[in-house]
Structure 1
Amino acid sequence: MLDNNALVAAATPVFLLMIGLEAWLSHRRRLDAYTLADSVTSMSCGIWTVTLEVFTKSAMLLAYGWVFAHLSIWQSAPGSAWTWAWSFIAFDFVYYWAHRWSHEINFLWAVHSPHHQSEEFNLTTALRQGAFQDVFHAPLFMTLALLGCPPGVFIIQLTLSKFYQFWIHTRLVGRVPLIEGILNTPSAHRVHHAVNEVYLDRNYAATLMLWDRLFGTYIEEGEQCVYGVRKGAPGWNAVWAQFAWPAVMWHDALRTARWRDKLSLWFRHTGWRPADVAVADPWPPFVLPSGRLYTATRASTRGPRWTAAALSAFIAAVVLQNRLITHAAALALAPKLALVGAVTAALLLAAYCLQAVAPSGASAPARTPAG
């Protein structure tokens, strides 16, 4: 089986080159598409996700392999063109529903929301992933194992689908002739990331827009998109980003009086709150912001040495993570855990250097609770 870590390691230089090119073109076109703190945080989310996936994705693939070997209806040949064709369609269909439910169900939004927290929309946003998302989607992916998609084919379909979705996170590309409305494009995906009322819960596709059209969730880009999430964001901390929405739900679960609500809120529609908690601590209504809410950093208040420190910590995390995923197959458990800890510590240090000294009108989670 082709090592997923090897695919990620091979693609990383290409991603970084494309990010650099987009940043340069954005500057040339005077498009304010990049801020240092946001870009570092987005890439840090990706780094932590891939770091943890050395364990989580391995466990998911072991489970997938067992289901394929013992419970599959039949087993397609991995070398058959037909296997790749039907599994591509099936994977894209399963991804649509996994993605859609990740916006509609509280506990699934908890693991998907980090991807939407950025107030920018650029290629670094594509790397801003939920570290536990694929684990929570695993039960849906198991349907592919039941249908007979070989494990090696599945992991390549999953990885290539994510690679395809990298290029659609940009504001530099307008509508794409011939494929617009057929394949996922930057225009279609800008809609998906927008918090404008008209764009909510739209365009869930991975590659094919067929499912959005079939199930009534497709919409074309019209009014200017405003990006982010409707209930705040965890500033510049890529690690806390993974736990921000679960923390909101946990807080509500502790405060509600009914045990039924303590349990059911995790499976309710995204944003649902127990009635007693909503009355005691109401959230203010969402107002579409005219500009970014998160702008302040230590660098803006205490000087550029904090930016230099953040970049140094981020580079250290990149180097450590690269060593981990490059040598994951050969490393023993203890060195793996040590590298995971070192990457996490470096990312937390970078976040500390970027985070504003104190909340302000520009840096506080003005969109109500973090999430």
Structure 2
Amino acid sequence: MDLTNPLIYGVPAFIAFILLEITYSHTHGDEDLYVWKDLMASGAMGIGSAILGPLVKVTVLIVVFNFTFELFNPVDAVTGQRMNIMGYKTFGYEWYIFLLCQLADDFTYYWFHRANHEIRVLWAAHIVHHSSDHFNLGTAIRNGWFTLLYKPFFYMWMPAIGFPVEVVIFALAIESFWQFQLHSKYVPKMGWIEKIFNTHTMHQVHHSQNVEYLDKNHGGFLNFFDKIFGTWKELDDDIDVKFGVIHAPESYNPLVILTHEYKDIWNDMKKSPKLWHKFMYVFGPPGWSHDGSTMTVKQQQRLFKKQKAENPEVAFSRPN
């Protein structure tokens, strides 16, 4: 079984679940859940990812992972076994190695995902996934193509410490399938499961543009790391959630959706002649500006907190 592109094997299931959700929404008075132009845009980007995925993953992911594994886990000339350069035997394929690798994957996914929200040039690739103002399984396949180029480098440490490449790729596959199914608003809160796992209501928070929800719940299938590193937020039933991003592209054109933030970065870089300002417009947090004309998420949330302290009735705010 070729695990280099697990989404290929999931495509029939993804399509079936999307059709099922469309049918359910129309038979339960929720016809606005899907907008056809929006779904077609998401589908086009999902198809692009499925086509580009094997090419990028074979040339980048597999090559990078195998090179890293071989470099840090050479075969011992005496025993003939692979030994990590830190002095222990390279991991095998025992069941507990799969579990440890999945935990390592979730830790890596958390920081990869968080970096996509906090470093603007990475956000330019990831904003594609958040650009729809609809939360449904169609949005789950609305993935930016450029993330494929740098995602493997976040995971290099895993084969470096001795996880077999196949096991790492299997963990990535599990991560992909879990992330897909999270994009449904029809799954309610699930009691004790919410204490451990990243669930559908938590992912609604992640896709919200409500100020208090911005940059929350970055986890893969666990919410453990969000809680440790202070980015976890529970869905408040009293808050009217608004999905999408504050500055969304006003287009269903896939090329515009894929590239609009890069264009915005370029235009922002031209606002100041200082190299430090240009650097920050590329590598600083989204919303950073040298003149205060726009705000980062943290600045927005501080302002929102201040506004709410002055007026407790404030439930939703979107500063410029």
Q: Give deviations 1:345-367, integer Å, cap 9, x for gaps.
A: xxxxxxxxxxxxxxxxxxxxxx9
Q: CA deviation at 1:368?
A: 11
TM-score, normalising length: structure 1: 0.71
Query: 1:328 maps to which residue?
Result: none
Partner of residue 257 from structure 1, selected from 260, 270, 273: 273
* 1:229 to 2:248 alignment: no
Give the 3 Å change call, closer, same or farther, for CA 111–40 of structure 1 in structure 2. Answer: same
1:82 corresponding residue in structure 2 = 96
Question: 1:43 aligns to what?
Answer: 43
Does the 8 A contact of 2:131 with 2:244 survive in 1?
Answer: yes
Identity %: 30
In the alignment, the residues of structure 2 paired with residue 148 and residue 190 of structure 1 have an alpha-carbon distance, to the nearest angstrom, of 35
Summarize the Cα distance change of 1:49–1:240 in structure 2 as closer, same or farther, 3 Å threshold.
farther
What pairs with 1:209-358 in structure 2 (closer than 5 Å)? 209-222=223-236, 223-275=239-291
Aligned counterparts of 1:103 and 1:8: Cα–Cα separation in 2:
23
Q: Distance in 1 between matches of 2:279 and 2:226?
A: 31
In the other structure, the counterpart of 1:52 is 52
Structure 1 equivalent of residue 20 of structure 2: 21
| Aligned mate of 2:114, from 85, 100, 125 | 100
Measure, in 2, the Cα distance between the counterparts of 1:164 and 1:218. 18
- Cα distance in 1 between the residues matched to 2:154 and 2:129: 20
Out of 247-256 and 37-46, give the one that drifted further.
Answer: 247-256
- Work out whether residues 209 and 218 of structure 1, in 8 Å CA contact, stay in contact via their aligned partners in 2: yes
Report if aligned partners of 1:107, 1:266 keep a CA contact under 8 Å in 2. Answer: yes
Alpha-carbon distance in 1 for matches of 2:217, 2:279: 30
1:143, distance to aligned residue in structure 2 (A): 1.2
Q: Does 1:67 align with 2:68?
A: yes
Which blocks of at least 5 consecutive residues in structure 1 are unaligned? 287-366
Change (3 A) 1:226 1:212: same
Q: Distance in 1 between matches of 2:267 and 2:127?
A: 17
User: Counterpart of 1:34?
Assistant: 34
Output aligned runs, 1:130-149, within 5 Å. Answer: 130-149=144-163
Is the 1:50–1:131 contact (alpha carbons within 8 Å) kept by the matching residues of 2?
no
Aligned mates of 2:120, 2:233 — CA distance in 1: 24
The code of the aligned residue for 1:237 comes to N
Q: Cα offset for 1:71? A: 2.3
Pick which of 259-268 and 154-163 moved more.
259-268
- CA RMSD, aligned part only? 2.3
Q: Could you tell me which amino acid in structure 2 is paired with residue 65 of structure 1?
A: N
What amino acid is aligned across from residue 110 of structure 2 in structure 1?
A: Y
Report what 1:293 is aligned to. Answer: none
Deviations 1:212-269 (A, max 9, x none): 1111211111112111111122511223322111111111113421122223321111
Provide the C-alpha distance between the structure 2 equivalents of 1:234 and 1:132, rounded to a whole number of angstroms: 21
> Separation in 2 of the partners of 1:76 and 1:23?
47
- Which stretch has the larger CA shift, 113-122 or 72-81? 72-81
The answer on 1:116 being equivalent to 2:130 is: yes
Letter in 2 for 1:226: K
Give the secondary structure class of the aligned counterpart of 1:180: helix
Indicate whether 1:165 and 2:164 are aligned: no
Unmatched 5+ stretches in structure 2: 74-83, 301-317
Q: CA deviation at 1:40?
A: 1.0
| SS of residue paired to 2:157 | helix
Q: Equivalent residue for 1:197?
A: 211
Per-residue displacement from partner, 1:98-146 (whole Å, max 9, x unpaired)?
1111111111111111000011000011101111213222222111121
Q: Find the aligned partners of 2:135 and 2:208 in 1 and give their Cα distance.
A: 9
Cα distance 1:368–1:36, how it changes in 2: closer, same or farther (>3 A)? farther
Q: Is the 8 A contact 2:280 2:288 kept in 1?
A: no
User: How far apart in 1 are the matches of 2:38 and 2:48?
Assistant: 15
